[in-house]
Amino acid sequence: MSSSPTEALTPIRERAAPTPEQFRAEILPSGQPVVMRAVACDWPLVVAGRADPHKAMSMLEKGANGRLTGVLRAEPELEGRFHYAEGDLQSFNYVRGEGNVAGIIAALRGEEANYRPSAIAAQSMIAEAYFPGFVQTHRLSLVPPNVGPRLWIGNAAKVATHHDPIENIAVVAVGKRRFTLFPPSAEKDLYMGPKEPTPAGARISMVHVTAPDLDRYPSFASALDVAQQADLSPGDAIFIPHDWYHHVEALDRFNVLVNYWWDAEAAA
């Protein structure tokens, strides 16, 4: 049996949880991705999820208001890959809806027992807009104090390869996630899609990272040569420098990611 092209990627550099001073002096200026283990191991949501993901679900339900947010749903046969519709770069392979946190979590509970669940994702929810008080109980001293967290809630889904023009720290709060990163220089080998429309404002790669078609996208093999990958557990964080391309795969039936975006040059 042949192995997957992504099975032997270079591991992302790791270190134990840095102090804010170490992060600003050593990690941020390096422009290189770093996995920071156990950065948020004492967060209440992390502690609850490690004990039982359903406890984390209940914590989110109790802490949320009734505000509506966007929700994506993809059919089971897509295996969690939110992307363009097959052969059509003007439409997508998922449907958009709206729901509050209680409804979203109820839908996720409903999919848990399915052998092939539909993929559900609520993305980039500003914490204070949906979970009042979250910032006070889930602090991250590595980012500037005026940078607020965003929550990404769902089941086993894949965020297509894209990049952000600003710095990013992503904290895995519940479930496990796999991050596959490509340096900015790999853009030419990623087969980026159109500028419009896009799923969430950023161009995405047309290549399915977890099952790349190298006959259709042969140069992607060169991107894999310089790719880096790591699996993160609850409480772990990753620093993704600006312009680094990243593919994010949620691996469990219930997952919560908390991320922070900021412009380091503007904050300096």
What pLDDT score does 8 carry?
A: 85
Tokens matching residue 176: 């496990």
In sequence order, what are the residues at sequence separation of 6 or more whose Cβ sits closer than 8 angstroms to the Cβ of residue 27? 15, 18, 34, 36, 239
Contacts of residues 24-33 at CB distance under 8 Å and 24 or more positions apart, as own/partner, are 27/239, 28/167, 28/239, 28/264, 30/241, 31/241, 32/241, 33/181, 33/228, 33/238, 33/239, 33/240, 33/241, 33/244
For residues 13-30, average pLDDT: 96
In this predicted structure, the answer to whether residue 2 has a pLDDT above a threshold of 90 is no
Inter-residue contact 163 to 190 (CB < 8 Å): no
For residues 5-20, average pLDDT: 90
pLDDT in tens, 92-127: 999 999 999 999 999 999 999 899 999 999 999 999
DSSP structure class, residue 13: P
pLDDT in tens, 42-58: 999 999 999 999 999 99
In this predicted structure, the answer to whether residue 182 has a pLDDT above a threshold of 60 is yes
pTM of the model: 0.96
Structural domains of the chain, with CATH:
10-267 (2.60.120.650)
